[in-house]
Structure 1
Amino acid sequence: MAALLLLVLAAIWLANKYSSTAPVAAESVKPQSLQDSPIEHQPAENAYTVHDMLGSEKPITATDNDGQLIIMPRPDWALDGNLLVHFSQLEQAAKQGDTEAAYVLGMNLHNCYFAPEDDTHLAERLEQAYQFNDNGVAVAENAERYDFCFGVDKQQRNQFYAYLAMAADNGYVPAQEAIALITPEQYMHAAGYAKLERNDYVAKRSSFVQQQVDFLSSAAQHGSIKALIKLSKLHYAQTVGQDGRLQAYAFNQMIMELTDDTELYNRYNWFQQRAQSVFTPEEIEQAMAMSDQWLSIIQANGTLYLHNNE
Structure 2
Amino acid sequence: MTFHALVVEKTDEATVSATVQSLTEEQLPAGEVTVAVEYSTVNYKDGLCLQPKNGLVRQYPHVPGIDFAGTVESSVDSRYQPGDKVVLTGWRVGEIHWGGFAQKARVQADWLVPLPEGLSTRQAMAVGTAGFAAILAVMALEDHGLQPDQGEVLVTGAAGGVGSIATAILGNLGYQVAAVTGRPETADYLQSLGASRIVAREEIDSVSRRPLEAETWAGCVDAVGGEMLARVLGQMKYGASVSAVGLAGGASLPASVIPFLLRGVNLLGIDSVMQPYENRLRGWLRIANDLPLEKLDAMIRPARLADVPALAADILKGQVQGRIVVDVNA
Q: Highest relative contact order (Cα 8 Å, sep 6+), 1 or 2?
A: 1
Q: TM-score range by the shorter chain?
A: under 0.3
Which structure has the highest helix share of the two?
1
Which structure has the highest strand share of the two?
2
